[in-house]
Amino acid sequence: MEIKILGSGCSKCKTLEKLTREVVDQNGIDASISKVEDIMEIMKYGVMATPALVVDGKVIIKGRIPSSEEIKEALTK
Amino acid sequence: MWYLIYHYLQPISDWLVDSVIGMQKGDHLTEAIRFFIFEVPKVLMLLALIIFIVGIIRTYFSADRTRKMLEGKSTFAGNVLASMLGIVTPFCSCSAIPLFLGFVESGVPLGVTFSFLIAAPMINEVAVILLFGLFGWKTALIYVLTGLLIAITAGWIIGKLKLEHWVQDWVYQTQMGNTGDEGNGLTFSDRIHFGFDSVKEIVGKVWIYVVVGIAVGAGAHGYVPEDFMVSLMGKSVWFSVPLSVLIGVPLYSNAAGIIPIVSVLIEKGAALGTSLAFMMAVVGLSLPEMIILKKVLKLPLILTFVGVVATGIMIVGYLFNLIF
């Protein structure tokens, strides 16, 4: 699974990245996590409010920091 | 529970100062400490409550929905709507760029986009609560209304000037992906959870500014002579308004730190209009935001933006010095 964190480098984006990595590690999910900081790239996903979480090309969450349960649910279903 | 504590805060803090610590009434130090012990919990409690409520309200709004509401709206009505949505749409200056791009891409007029970008940082819940807590509801209301007025007119003027050619060229070439409307599936307990989260996040970030700001205020409250600021920021000093704005723009502090200090400036003889202008310049126009916006706007447009907003703030400043 391919996970992308969209965000231009604000503190919320870092929090989301950290949370996502924790969830992936704790649940042994096989995934590659990368961060997208380029605004042009971010816009391609149609995201106007960062941070956003993209899983396999689909925007799951945007504009807020979800709870780890919510991330887990999004990654395991 | 919240109400009970808030209601009895004054007697509790008086009791703490007079009986527990047993200090001399009317003494400078006593009054400074009394001010501090009363104001800090009062402001923090107000902050927690309002941020909680605003946090819940914000779950009903999103950048996507706001954009949809603004699409196709032209000139004046659009400016009014955008300014009001600026207050309730979740916004942080780090998403100013994607938001700007998203708005412009989908055909929201430039002036309307600016109304949003002016209102969103200037009229924020932290500023309004602090004004309410330290100055009373009238000043808070005046701040919100004049802030809205500035956002509406400044956006409208920028729209009228037709400055689209000063937007960086690549902006209009960006391909915006399809946006889904996220956030519909939230249950009410999700929203409450979100409210608590925003209290934790915002209060966690600003409490230190509140404490330091009020401490500085408390110190000045007891010690600085009453008319200290009259000669500097008083009504009769005509250049004080533009000077406050000039000093305010590069100063980047959040509302939490600046407002307690402004409350003392006023107590010591600064005019309300001058202080209001100073606050708006600090909170509404910030250098870091300009630098971020440089990516999407050419310099002349940024300067126009700052010029128009600063002029608006100055007019408000003079107006209030004249009225009060």
Q: What span, in angstroms and rounded, lies between the C-alpha atoms of B155 and B175?
A: 25
DSSP assignment of B290-307: HHHHTTTB-HHHHHHHHH
Helix (H, G, I), strand (E, B) or coil at B35: helix
Which of A10, A39, A43, A49 is the catalytic position?
A10
Helix (H, G, I), strand (E, B) or coil at A55: strand
Q: What span, in angstroms and rounded, lies between the C-alpha atoms of B251 and B235?
A: 23
Instruction: Identify the helix (H) or strand (E) that includes residue A60.
Output: strand A58-62
Decide if B182 and A61 are in contact by the 8 Å CB cutoff.
yes
Chain A residues near residue B178 by CB distance under 8 angstroms: 46
Phi, psi at residue A32, to the nearest 5°? -105, 130
**Could you tell me which residues of chain A have a Cβ less than 8 Å from any Cβ in chain B?**
7-10, 12-13, 39-40, 42-50, 59, 61-65, 67
Would you call A10 a catalytic residue per the annotation? yes
Tell me which residues of chain B, numbers 283 to 302, contact chain A at a CB-CB cutoff of 8 Å: 295
Contact status of B101 with chain A (Cβ, < 8 Å): yes
Contact status of B309 with chain A (Cβ, < 8 Å): no
CB pairs < 8 Å spanning A and B: 73
Q: What is the ipTM of this complex?
A: 0.71
- pLDDT classification of B182: cutoffs 50, 70, 90: low
> Cα B161 from chain centroid?
27
Specify the pLDDT at position B253: 63
Decide if A48 and B102 are in contact by the 8 Å CB cutoff.
yes
- pLDDT classification of B57: cutoffs 50, 70, 90: confident
Decide if A43 and B62 are in contact by the 8 Å CB cutoff.
no
Alpha carbons within 13 angstroms on the beta-carbon side of residue B143 total 31
* Span B189-203, pLDDT tens digits: 878 888 888 888 888
Average pLDDT over residues B35-63: 85
Specify the pLDDT at position B100: 85
Give pTM, 2 decimals: 0.80
Q: What span, in angstroms and rounded, lies between the C-alpha atoms of A18 and B228?
A: 50
Is the model's pLDDT at B180 over the cut of 60? no
Q: What span, in angstroms and rounded, lies between the C-alpha atoms of B301 and B293?
A: 10
Query: What is the four-CA torsion angle of B227, B253, B112, B97, rounded to 10 degrees?
Result: 170
* Span A6-57, pLDDT tens digits: 887 777 788 888 889 888 888 888 888 888 888 777 877 878 777 888 888 8
Contact predicate B290/B310, CB 8 Å: no
Chain A residues near residue B92 by CB distance under 8 angstroms: 10, 12
Decide if A42 and B178 are in contact by the 8 Å CB cutoff.
no
Is the model's pLDDT at B115 over the cut of 80? yes
Chain B residues near residue A9 by CB distance under 8 angstroms: 94
Tokens 């330290």 correspond to B134
* Cα of A39 to nearest chain B Cα, Å: 7
Q: What span, in angstroms and rounded, lies between the C-alpha atoms of B80 and B230?
A: 37
Decide if B98 and A43 are in contact by the 8 Å CB cutoff.
yes
Q: What span, in angstroms and rounded, lies between the C-alpha atoms of B182 and A49?
A: 11
Do β-strands A2-6 and A32-36 pair in parallel, antiparallel, or remain unpaired?
Answer: parallel
Would you call A73 a catalytic residue per the annotation? no
